[in-house]
A and B are shown apart, each in its own frame.
Chain A
Amino acid sequence: MTPAKSKTAATEEKSKAKAKAPPKKPRAATKARAKAKKTAAPRKARKAKSRAREGFVPRVVVFACNWCSYAGADAAGVSRIQYSPHFRIIRVMCSGRVHPAFVLRAFELGADGVLVSGCHFGDCHYIFGNERAVEQFEKTKALLKILGLEEGRIRLEWISAAEGVKFGRVIDEFVEQVRALGPSTLAPPGRELPREAEAFADAAALAK
């Protein structure tokens, strides 16, 4: 079996798994966690939180490297791990490719949080790509700090192809973190990506 073939098979398997298994997160637990964060959150975050709509669903963009993290997402799928579906995954060949422009563009289009994920140090398919990822991420962080965006809206993670469980856990953690922060103040009105609920409504309307 060639690696390419197994890749396709795994991807299909993953999408099937995702389609079949809607998350069954205990709502009460989620709310309790969000509430706990609310009291501890700084003023700015609380302000954002107060603006948050009832039942705010965060839109998280995940940049995952082809060799480790994307395969890690596959592993999460084939292992039927239950985790938050509120993220959109974008596969890049290497986490080092994730230029600040990608992250900024995501926020410009209305993302509430961005996660960049690559191979562990020493495991990079391109030897030092993830070291470049750190450099790029530091730059992104510096730019977003000047823009005044909460630091909790971006995250850099190392997830290997075997760490499906970790992938699910990181996504859950990050989505909860972004949910607590509320909607991003940077999304210019009229340039937003459709929220999940709206996207589903659109799809339903199209099907009729």
Chain B
Amino acid sequence: MDKTTTVDERALKEANAFLCLECGKCTSTCVVARYNRSYSPRRLISQALAGGRLPTPQELSICLTCMACDARCPSGVRFVDLIRELRRATYGAEFAGNCSHGGAMQSLMKLMTAAELNQDRLAWVTDDLKISDEGDVAFFVGCAPYFDAFFTELEVDTLAGVKGAVKVINALGIAPVVLPDERCCGHDLLWGGDVEHFEMLARRNVELLRAKGVKTVVFNCPECYYTFKGDYADVVGALPFEVKHLSEVLAERAGELNFVDDEGEKVTFQDPCRLARFAGVVEAPREVLTAAGVELAEMPRAGKGAVCCAGNGWLNCDRFSKEVQLERLREARATGATTLVTACPKCEIHFRCAMNDPNLGDEIKMEIRDLAVEVASRLENKKAKPKGKETEE
């Protein structure tokens, strides 16, 4: 690491930081700043512009990179880009904080950079799920098998989301290609500043998918989706395939799916930051839910204004994260919905963890389910309708 003490001017320029008006909309939007009074995105930017010292990795780890500030910024400053660049610049410096879960996730990701892996990651594939070795469409599983083994005490079933996704894809008449040795997408390493290992993972994943000759890759995890869509091109150049989030595929082809007729439950939708704000996919999951016949009750802050689940790439987890999660769960409960549907396994993990608070009891408890699970549970039978029929909407 080079010994720069101030923020690099190039990083500031690339993040449009010189356009900052110091209006403070970022800080007033920031869910962390609401609880953590010592944290302020506006101050971080103005200090950097004034040639102040480089923030420490610990200070940088507070940001959730949820992009809520950028969505509100009137001058188009890209604060999350600046944070990412600074984390990269300070990576390797002494980090007095603690990565959440003891850094187990970071270790797993780095271990997956090994050239020769013999993963046993397809144990979840049951007989009723059809996957294939070759084809045009691949399904990128993501870290769900690891999460399932790691978060046993939270009773989260991240594999259910993956199974649900494959079930729905099967219902469209596609048996997706699933890689037996797929690596982590590297999202959290990239956002944690470890670009070296991120690039290794990106190359391996693209290599594996290229070898299969697939034309489209479908994702259930929004983080994997956005990392492929937005960040892989910087490492490997233009991708030799198209990337799509499951909700996009389903919104396009909802008419081919048969849903049960009875009245669905009332659900509310938690927009994952990588899906709504980063990739701009806001309508697709809602269209899918409506097509599936569930009643959607929106939270006041939805779509691009949604509140983050306060998990920031396994970098930091503190009492402020907890406050953010509680606030969001109360908001979800206030809609009168019985189920919180999300499209991201991490939202599910973090909300489940917050719900386990014995002091709050039932006050914030609600059913939480992956979008794919919700849609799969509404499928009538697993056969696709003949093409060309009208959608139910």
Which residues in A have some Cβ–Cβ distance to B below 8 Å? 44, 99-102, 104-105, 107-108, 139, 142-143, 145-148, 185-188, 191
A108 to B99, CA, bound (A): 16
A188 to B119, CA, bound (A): 16
Q: Quick one: which of B71-125 are within 8 Å of A by CB?
A: 101-104, 107-108, 110-114, 116-121, 123
A148 lies within 8 A of B104 (CB) = no
A101 lies within 8 A of B117 (CB) = no
B116 surroundings in chain A (CB, below 8 A): 185
Given A139-B149, A139-B152, A142-B149: A108 touches B111 (CB 8 Å cut-off): yes
The A/B interface has a contact count, at CB < 8 Å, of 66
A148 lies within 8 A of B118 (CB) = yes
Q: How many chain-B residues does the 8 Å CB contact rule pick out?
A: 23
Given A146-B121, A148-B117: A188 touches B102 (CB 8 Å cut-off): no
A101 lies within 8 A of B101 (CB) = yes
CB distance from B180 to the nearest CB of A (A): 10
A107 to B113, CA, bound (A): 13
A105 to B102, CA, bound (A): 10
Among residues of B, the one whose C-beta sits closest to the C-beta of A107 is B111
* A–B Cβ pairs within 8 angstroms, 21 of them: A100-B104, A101-B102, A101-B103, A101-B104, A102-B102, A105-B103, A107-B111, A108-B107, A143-B104, A143-B150, A145-B120, A145-B149, A146-B121, A146-B145, A147-B120, A185-B114, A185-B116, A186-B114, A187-B114, A188-B114, A191-B110
A186 to B101, CA, bound (A): 21
Among residues of B, the one whose C-beta sits closest to the C-beta of A148 is B118
B150 lies within 8 A of A148 (CB) = no
B146 at the interface (CB under 8 A from A): yes
Which residues in B have some Cβ–Cβ distance to A below 8 Å? 101-104, 107-108, 110-114, 116-121, 123, 145-146, 149-150, 152
A155 to B114, CA, bound (A): 23
B145 surroundings in chain A (CB, below 8 A): 146
B150 surroundings in chain A (CB, below 8 A): 100, 139, 142-143
Given A139-B149, A146-B145: A104 touches B107 (CB 8 Å cut-off): yes
A188 lies within 8 A of B110 (CB) = yes
A100 to B104, CA, bound (A): 7
B117 lies within 8 A of A147 (CB) = yes
A148 lies within 8 A of B120 (CB) = yes
A102 to B145, CA, bound (A): 20
B113 lies within 8 A of A188 (CB) = yes
**Interface SS of A by simple majority:** helix
Further 15 A-B residue pairs, CB within 8 A, beyond A100-B102, A143-B146: A44-B118, A99-B101, A99-B104, A100-B150, A101-B104, A107-B111, A108-B107, A143-B104, A143-B150, A146-B119, A146-B120, A147-B119, A148-B120, A186-B114, A191-B110
A109 to B117, CA, bound (A): 16
A101 to B112, CA, bound (A): 14
A146 to B108, CA, bound (A): 11
CB distance from A127 to the nearest CB of B (A): 20
Among residues of A, the one whose C-beta sits closest to the C-beta of B114 is A186
A107 to B117, CA, bound (A): 13
A191 surroundings in chain B (CB, below 8 A): 110
B149 lies within 8 A of A146 (CB) = yes
A147 lies within 8 A of B102 (CB) = no
A108 lies within 8 A of B146 (CB) = no
In the A-B complex, the 6 residue pairs with the smallest Cβ-Cβ separation, listed nearest first, are A101-B102, A148-B118, A101-B104, A104-B107, A142-B149, A148-B119
A100 to B186, CA, bound (A): 20
B119 surroundings in chain A (CB, below 8 A): 146-148
CB distance from A3 to the nearest CB of B (A): 29
B110 surroundings in chain A (CB, below 8 A): 108, 188, 191
B121 surroundings in chain A (CB, below 8 A): 146
Question: Which of B107, B113, B119, B120 gathers the greatest number of chain A CB atoms within 10 Å?
Answer: B107
